Each structure stands twice: as structure tokens, then as C-alpha cells.
Structure 1
Amino acid sequence: MRLLVVGGAGAVGTMTLPHLAAQHAVTVLDPRPPAPGPWSHRPGSALDMEAVADAARDADALVYMAMGPVDGWGSPQNVRSHFDISVTGAHLALWAAASAGVRRAVLTSSMSVYRDPDRAPYPDESVPPDASDFYGVTKRCAEVVASAAAAEWGMDIVVLRLCLPTPDDQYPLQNRSENDRTIATSARDTARAILAALRYQGAGFDAFTISGDHRQRIAPIDKARRLLGWEPLDHSTDPEEDSHDPAL
């Protein structure tokens, strides 16, 4: 497939692009150039509908992973940026892609769509998101935008609620809380989830929890296993395991 990855120069894009490009032709649309690799770069913003539409004319699918900035977290300007990128940007990008004839999209979301994301265990996908903090609200709104786009423009859109995507060379996490170590997802498993979502034949909108928590002690991944055929290949060791083989 020919993938248009919006926001591919960000944290999730940087760690997953090598895995995505191993199977598909990838074009990154981002104001910043991505790391060098076997992909092309189109300078542009998710908020520039014309730029997205132009790049999407040669695409089979859209992967939207644009994120708001970390600097100034929670300040009025920062909050505005997150709403612009996660909500307005997602709407404009999906609109532009649909106008260009693209009918398949994947959006990277977060378990922050739920209130108090540190609680355990996490709700499964049947529980409506209820976050009230600004970041969680932007992710909730992005999912509403995706659901509306699927209905309005006849698109198949999969939302992936990611849990601590982690570069492969930093996985498994060290010096983090037990919860963080349990739910963290390696870059290759995050990319495998995106690839599985691109293959998914479900109609319309759907959302999935994606986590390295293979035992589901905290994060429920049964739906991803059942419908996407995805489960983590990498996972942290825990007291119940004597050894770890990432190939299992």
C-alpha cells in the first residue's frame, strides 16, 4: 500500500516508520523532516487541508499520528495547540483524504481517553471514554471526529489506543512504575498494530486497546487479538515468568 503518514516526524512516527516502510511505500507529511530512511517527505501541516489533499492523491491509506507539543504543557497556548492538531487537524486531514478518494485510515489515540489513566485495570472498549483533563478531552474529541468521518464520507477508520509506545532500543522500560513497565508497547509491536489495522476489514469506525500487557493484568487486549489478529510479541518479564523470549 501507499501510506500517507501525517505527523510521521514525531515520537511515534520516528519509532514506527522503519517497520511500516518495510512493508509499504511511505510518504510523511510533517512540517519537520523525519529521520533519514526509505520514505519520502512532504513538508506541510495537518491543518493545511490543501497540502494533505495533494499528498493524499497518491495514497491508498492515511495514518494520522500528529501530536501536540510537550513544551508549556497545560498552558493556554499549549492546550490550544493540542486541540488544533488532535481535533481540527484530524478532521481536516480525514476530509482531505476522503476528497482525494482515500477510504481507509488509522488514527493513533491513547488510553488517556479515560479518566485517571493510571488506574488499574483499564476499561475495555465497550466503556465510553470519560476523560476530563485537556489532553484526554482532545483524544476523546479526535475519536468523535474519526467516527463522524467514517459515517459522513464512507471511510473505514481504526483508532488505536496506544499504551506507552517505546523505542525498540529502550524496551523493556527500566526505572518506571510497575504499571508503566507492564503496559508499555515496543515500537515494533506498535507498528504491527498499525499494519494490522490497515488490513482490518471491519466496516466504518472501530477502536482498539494496544498494549504490551500480554497477560492483560491492566490493559484488555482481547478485542485486538480477536478482530485484528494482533498481540504483542515483546513484553516485560514479570514475577510469574522465568524467562522471556520476544519471539513467542
Structure 2
Amino acid sequence: MRLLVIGGCGLVGSLVVPVLARTHEVRVLDLKEPSTPVSGVDYHVGELHDVDLVASLSSEVDSLVFMAMGPLAGWGSPANARQHFDVAVSGLYLALTGAAKAGVRHVVYTSSMSVYPYEELTGMITFPDESVPPTATDFYGLAKRLGEEVCRTATDRWDGMDAVCLRLCFPAADDEWPRGDTPMKRAISTSGRDVAAAIEAALRHRGHGFDAYAISGDATGKTMSIEKARRELGWTPRDVT
């Protein structure tokens, strides 16, 4: 496929773009140059809010993969929260507008299990499955929740638009997996190759409109159920906690 990956130079992008580039024609749009360019990938520096730029880069593209997010620096400060909302809401909306203008009718959005609130009082919790509406109220979880709603709205606005939201859990480089400073985080951490495989599965999932899936290395389901991803995407983690 021909893919436009927005935010392809960030944390998740650095894990999955090298894998996607093995079998797809990949263009990347990011605010910065890649620290380690991947051979064969067509990199562009620019703003995801630029509708005309996104439309131009979306020419003859089969799917938009949106993995941009706000910065880690200043996490939780008012300025930082504003940046996260700017990317996940107005940025995603305008990027989808540009892609749709060019005829793209499929998007994969890297969301987060942070759309659900959690309290690590005992170190371990159980997340609800996808049938339960997200209710997070912190800035990051809410930004991701609203991003999912932008995707849902896109499927209503443009005929034939599919939006697959992947609720990722602490993605980590394969040699650093499992990652996390608490038992819960390590239990649901997902290896880079499994994140890439989930995106591959989402790229093939078409004709279903909007949907969201939990993507986690917790194959046992003790903390989080990935049954829906198994059943509908045909995805299951190879690296399991």
C-alpha cells in the first residue's frame, strides 16, 4: 500500500516505520527530521494543520496512519496540555480533512488505553473492554478520547471512510520490552514488533466504519482483554507478558 504516516519520527513512529517500509510505500510528515532515516521512506517536514500540504502528500495514498502527539517536555503543564489537545483534536481534524480532500478513505489512529482512568493503588488493575465508553478526565486521556471522536465523526462526514483506533499500551523497542516502572505497566506493555503487526492488521481492516481495539502484550487477559482484536483484526501479540 501507499501510506502517509503523520508523526512518523516520534516514539511510535521510530518503532513501526522501519517495519511498514519493508512492504509498503511510506511517506512521513513530521515537524522534525528523522534522527535515523529509514531507507526508501519519503520524509517531509511540515505542519499537520496544513490542509493543502496533507492533501498533496495524500495523493494516491491508500491509508493515513496518524501517530502524532504532543511533546513529553513539560508534561501536564497548561502549555503542554494545550499542545496535546491541539494535535489530537484540531490537528487530527485538519489532517483528516486534507486526506479526505485527496480521496483517502481509510485512517489508522494510534490512540491509547489512557482513554480509561485508572488508579494504581495496588499496582495492578483491570481495564474495561471496548464495550465500555471511555471516561478519562486527565489531559492526555481526554485528548486521546477526543481524537477518537474526531475519527468517528470523519466516518460520518465522508462516505466510505473507515477509522481504526488502536488503543496502545506502553509501546517499547523490542530490546527494551517489557517496559514500565509499575507491575501494571509491565503487564500491558507492548513490543514494537507487535505494535507494527497491529497497525498492519488495521490497514487490512476495511469497510467497517469506526472501531477501536485494545492492543496489549497481556495475552492472558489478566489486566486487559484483547479478544476483540483477536477476533476482528486477526491480531495477537507474539511477545507476551
Task: Report the TM-score, using the length of structure 1 for normalisation.
Answer: 0.92
Residue 164 of structure 1: aligned partner: 170
Residue 98 of structure 2: aligned partner: 96
Query: Any conservation in 1 of the 2:219–2:240 contact (CA below 8 Å)?
Result: yes
Q: Secondary structure at the match of 1:209?
A: strand
**Amino acid aligned to 2:37:** P
Residue 246 of structure 1: aligned partner: none
Residue 220 of structure 1: aligned partner: 225
Offset at residue 73 of structure 1 (A): 1.3
Offset at residue 117 of structure 1 (A): 6.4
Residue 5 of structure 2: aligned partner: 5
**Amino acid aligned to 1:6:** I
Query: Any conservation in 2 of the 1:185–1:211 contact (CA below 8 Å)?
Result: yes
1:32-51 equivalence runs, <5 A: 32-34=32-34, 35-38=36-39, 39-51=41-53
Task: Report the TM-score, using the length of structure 2 for normalisation.
Answer: 0.94
Q: Secondary structure at the match of 2:221?
A: coil
* Sequence identity (%): 52
Residue 122 of structure 1: aligned partner: 127
Consecutive unaligned residues of structure 1, counting only runs of 5 or more, are 237-248
Query: Any conservation in 2 of the 1:147–1:157 contact (CA below 8 Å)?
Result: yes
Give RMSD over aligned pairs. Answer: 1.3
Query: Any conservation in 2 of the 1:27–1:42 contact (CA below 8 Å)?
Result: yes
Question: Which of 90, 107, 115 does residue 109 from structure 2 map onto?
Answer: 107
Offset at residue 202 of structure 1 (A): 4.1
Whether 1:57 aligns to 2:59 is yes
Following the alignment from structure 2 to structure 1, what is the Cα–Cα distance between the partners of residues 119 and 94? Answer: 28
Per-residue Cα deviation, 1:30-56 (whole angstroms, up to 9, x for no partner): 011122112110111211112111101
1:1-248 equivalence runs, <5 A: 1-34=1-34, 35-38=36-39, 39-116=41-118, 118=120, 120-154=125-159, 155-173=161-179, 176-236=181-241
Query: Any conservation in 2 of the 1:44–1:52 contact (CA below 8 Å)?
Result: no
**Amino acid aligned to 2:90:** T
Consecutive unaligned residues of structure 2, counting only runs of 5 or more, are none
Q: Secondary structure at the match of 2:94?
A: helix
Following the alignment from structure 1 to structure 2, what is the Cα–Cα distance between the partners of residues 172 and 112? Answer: 18
Query: Any conservation in 1 of the 2:106–2:206 contact (CA below 8 Å)?
Result: no
Count matched residues. Answer: 235
**Amino acid aligned to 1:233:** R
Of stretches 33-42 and 102-111 in structure 1, the one that deviates more from structure 2 is: 33-42
Per-residue Cα deviation, 1:100-123 (whole angstroms, up to 9, x for no partner): 000111000001111126462101
Q: Secondary structure at the match of 1:107?
A: strand
**Amino acid aligned to 1:100:** A
Per-residue Cα deviation, 1:139-184 (whole angstroms, up to 9, x for no partner): 11000000000110121110000001001121233x7322112100
Q: Which runs of 4+ in 1 moved over 6 A?
A: none
